[in-house]
Amino acid sequence: MASDAPREAQAEVQAEVQARVTAVWRRESTRLVAALLRLTRDLELAEDLAQDALVAALEQWPGDGIPANPGAWLMQVAKRRAIDTFRRNATLRDRTAELARSLPTGEEAQVPDLDATLDHVEDDVLRLILLTCHPLLSPESRAALTLRLVAGLTTAEIARAFLARESAVGQRITRAKKTLAEHRVDLEVPVGQERTARLDDVMSVVYLIFNEGYTATSGEDWTRPDLCHEGIRLARMLAVLEPRHPDTHGLQALLELQASRLPARLDADGAPVLLEAQDRVRWDQLLLRHGLAALDRATAVAREREESIGPITAQAHIAACHARARTAEETDWPRIARWYDALSAAAPGPVVEVNRAVAHGRAHGPDAGLAVLDALAPGALAGSHLLPSVRGDLLARAGRHREAAGAFSAAISLTANEGERSVLRRRRAESLAADVGNAPSRTTSR
């Protein structure tokens, strides 16, 4: 037994280092790929170089320790790989020299910060999003490629987000990269009408990135705050880039208002806390004020341009209704239901309808919400836990606890996120307990 102790200790150290490498990769990979794309102007090569740097980190860091500036370390390794690649290509000697000159000398601990090494890193990320939202690609391909490159999601995670087969999403991403390479697309940030034409897609994928952080599609963690903050950062950049577009301010407002709840979404034990049970004192008041101010700007710009409120800004108004309620009981559900009606008319879809059912269920009673769900087309959102979980909530509020438990069971089987499962298991247990407790009286009433 004693002889196994060193091996166990070594295994623990390696596991800890691997976890830290994973965390660093999640934080740095987007900026790394974006910066390498600007240097190489080759998306496939940029991804390969970034992956090579990750492999090097996995090989060296367990023995050498994690460097003081892991992002800069990864960038330096990737640049060296780039130089090796370019040296094998006689037509790219000038680029090799440029990269070689940019490499620092000395020990890795003296490597300057990544932000200082690269110019306009934030613009690189935005350029990457604008590239992946290129009109040459289908809307599905744009979203999948962006989630892969910018949000760092795996193919399996993207497939779950879109309720699609993993093989289909993988093929979609491969075809998208091939299309961009074959057409040698311009990597510069588009301007004027070209940029405006891509703006809706860019905002959609930024919202997707945020949503993946707000409720992760898989894994142990219910939320991924790093993705939420990345979404907010990108939304703020878009609002500065396109100040005359009301929805850019609406997107910023929506993300900041929703993110203000992040501190209250988990309790002290790390368990998920639903909106109505959250301690609103823990909401981030600064983000909340920023969100409301951005919403005011969105409304003002729309009024100046004599435009109607867009779908994203409508969602921001809904988030603002929650933000302004000091308690769950003070929530203006009739107003939220009206906003969802407007959103349903402007941007119809099953996800909107499910959320509209929640709002009408709170505003006008659970039967009103169930009626909205019953109007959905058969098979809507098949494979998603969203619809059965909302149906379970409405059934429980209607006192139909046994049916609610069944709906929660169906939802549990459809989610891959452990935090989401824990919430649904708790709701199912509450429904079963209520059903048992109500059994005598229900028999009597019959």
Q: What percent of the chain has pLDDT over 90?
A: 35
User: In the 3-class helix/strand/coil scheme, how is the chain assigned residue by residue?
Assistant: CHHHHHHHHHHHHHHHHHHHHHHHHHHHHHHHHHHHHHHHCCHHHHHHHHHHHHHHHHHHHHHHCCCCCHHHHHHHHHHHHHHHHHHCCHHHHHHHHHHHHHCCCCCHHHCCCHHHHCCCHHHHHHHHHHHHCCCCCCHHHHHHHHHHHCCCCCHHHHHHHHCCCHHHHHHHHHHHHHHHHHCCCCCCCCCHHHHHHHHHHHHHHHHHHHHHHHCCCEECCCCCHHHHHHHHHHHHHHHHHCCCCHHHHHHHHHHHHHHCCHHHCECCCCCECCHHHCCHHHCCHHHHHHHHHHHHHHHHHHHHCCCCCCHHHHHHHHHHHHHHCCCHHHCCHHHHHHHHHHHHHHCCCHHHHHHHHHHHHHHHCHHHHHHHHHCCCCCCCCCCCHHHHHHHHHHHHCCCHHHHHHHHHHHHCCCEEHHHHHHHHHHHHHHHHHHHHHHHHHHHHC
Average pLDDT over every residue of 65-77? 84
Residue 443's pLDDT is what? Answer: 35
As given in the structure block, the two tokens for residue 282 are 């823990």
pLDDT: which is higher, 297 or 90: 297
Range with lowest mean pLDDT among 108-122, 240-254, 339-353? 108-122
User: Which residues are bridge partners to 416 per DSSP?
Assistant: 218
Which residue shows structure tokens 């779950």? 160
pLDDT above 50 for 338: yes
Render pLDDT for 360-391 as a digit per residue (tens, 0 to 9).
999 999 999 999 999 999 888 888 899 999 99
Residue 61's pLDDT is what? Answer: 81
Residue 261's pLDDT is what? Answer: 94
Which residue shows structure tokens 């919400």? 369
Average pLDDT over every residue of 137-150? 83
Residue 268's pLDDT is what? Answer: 85
Render pLDDT for 146-195 as a digit per residue (tens, 0 to 9).
888 877 778 887 887 777 788 888 888 888 888 888 877 766 667 777 77
Q: Where does the pLDDT of residue 94 fall: very low under 50, low under 70, confident under 90, or very high at 90 and above? A: low
User: Which residues are bridge partners to 243 per DSSP?
Assistant: none
pLDDT above 80 for 118: no
Render pLDDT for 14-27 as a digit per residue (tens, 0 to 9).
677 777 777 777 77
Q: Where does the pLDDT of residue 34 fall: very low under 50, low under 70, confident under 90, or very high at 90 and above? A: confident
Question: Measured between alpha carbons, how far is 128 from 134 in angstroms, rounded to an integer?
Answer: 10
Cβ atoms of 376 and 387 within 8 Å: the answer is yes
Residue 112's pLDDT is what? Answer: 41
The overall pTM is greater than 0.75: no
Residue 115's pLDDT is what? Answer: 42
Average pLDDT of the chain, as a whole number: 82
